[in-house]
Structure 1
Amino acid sequence: MAEWFRNTDWNDEIEIAFDARLGRARDKAQYLNIQAHTLLASHPHVAANLCRRVLALDAPAQTARAGLYLGTALAVQGDVDGAISALEGAIGAEQREPMHRTAAYLDQALLITLARRDDLYDTALERLESERALPVREQSPTALFALTLIGGARGENVAGAAALALKMLGDSDQEEFALPPYLSIRELKSRLSEVAGLQ
């Protein structure tokens, strides 16, 4: 049986039991975040509401993570602008509390590129560049995907990087790169193939 804060389903009965246990819990924000994360793919609306509850608690150790999860939940629901904004909130929380880091800048960069938000490309690139300490071949695949797609959109010659990104993806599934649940591997491969000149 799952722990009370890791429900994989959600209904009125589960919500009442969860809230009853949460009322007695010490670190409410942490339990809300764990439950939100568990429901991201299956119940994104519920996950988003749980994240908003975390943000209302103003718990410094959990705020960035709540922003990351809220961004993911909103993206799953198709609210790209809301997702980008929530991820921006997570990045701001990390700047205020540097001990509590997430991958919000990576998720935001990838979301910006997939949504073709060219007005935000410079912001995404600045963050990716400032965080990057490793050579392209050794850095996060998510960073490589975003950098390649932005370069391709700007007409840069990034066919080699796109081919490398496609090779990294190979026959992998969603879990291997811990990609957000709103992201389709098929869509990502299609966009990278376009940039690599394979379509």
Structure 2
Amino acid sequence: MADWFRQKSWSKVDEEYFFTKLGRARKDGRAQYLKIQAIELIETKNEKLLDVAESLIHKLFSEYPDDKFNRPGALVGLGNIYQLRNDNDRAIECYKEAIDFEIIYPQVRTQAYIYFSELVIKQEKVNLYDTVENILMDKIPGTLFPIEKYKGYSILSIINNYNHNIEKAAKFETLAEQNASKETSGLRYHKYLGIVKDRDSWLDKLVRKS
């Protein structure tokens, strides 16, 4: 049986069960439970459940405004909701807010920078290319996961080709390919965590096209 804060449905019974459990939980854990439950509902991609997830995230923001640890992840979740609704401008704003928050609180880390960068490229927001490049150049050295490096370097290749920096673009394309081909993460106890299992066809196509 799934944890009470990992429900994939939201009937009246589900809702009452969740909020009863939430009310009995430690106060310092409630923001996290709201975030996790919202993410579970977002993963269903069901339109009605996205509405519920959005309400849970806004509840987190309004009732636990001083919670620093869960805010970036909740912002990423909100960005994912907007992206699923094709409200891409609002999604970009949420991802950027999460990135900016992580600058102030670097002990909290999400994949907001990857989501932000991917969406900027997909939407061809060329006015944000310099911002994306700066963010990726700052973030990529600190990640251990090949999949993040593969995506990040692919995006850097696309941006540098757009800016006619052909040599740099080729270097980033090579780095992206190297990370896409890695069979292990290099982590001792999680050898296969964060490796590239399925390549992004749209990203590969843009790299080759550029």
> SS of the residue aligned with 2:70?
helix
Q: Cα deviation per residue 1:112-152 (whole Å; 9 max; x = unaligned)?
A: 11111111111111111222437xxx772221122122223
CA contact (8 A) 1:166 1:193 kept: no
Report matched runs for 1:89-168 at 5 Å: 89-133=97-141, 140-157=149-166, 158-159=169-170, 161-162=172-173, 165=176
Q: 1:39 aligns with which of 41, 51, 59?
A: 41
TM-score for both structures, normalised by structure 2: 0.74
Counterpart-to-counterpart distance in 2, 1:159 and 1:75: 30
Residues 178 and 97 (structure 1 numbering): CA distance in 2 closer, same or farther, change over 3 Å? farther
Q: Does 1:88 align with 2:96?
A: yes
Calculate the TM-score normalised by the size of structure 1.
0.78
The answer on whether the counterparts of 2:149 and 2:179 sit within 8 Å (CA) in structure 1 is no
Greater RCO, 1 or 2 (C-alpha within 8 Å, sep 6+): 1
Separation (CA, whole Å) in 1 of partners of 2:68 and 2:18: 23
Residue identity (%): 28
The answer to whether the Cα contact below 8 Å between 2:95 and 2:113 also exists between their aligned partners in 1 is yes
Is residue 36–residue 51 contact of structure 1 (8 Å, CA) maintained in 2?
Answer: yes
AA matched with 2:31: A
Tell me how far apart the structure 2 counterparts of residues 61 and 9 of structure 1 sit (CA, whole Å). 26
Aligned to 2:58: 52
Give CA deviations for 1:73-129 in whole Å, capped at 9, x if unaligned: 221221111111111221222223222122212221121111111111111111112
Match of 1:12 in 2: 12
C-alpha RMSD over aligned residues: 2.8
Offset of residue 161 of structure 1: 3.7
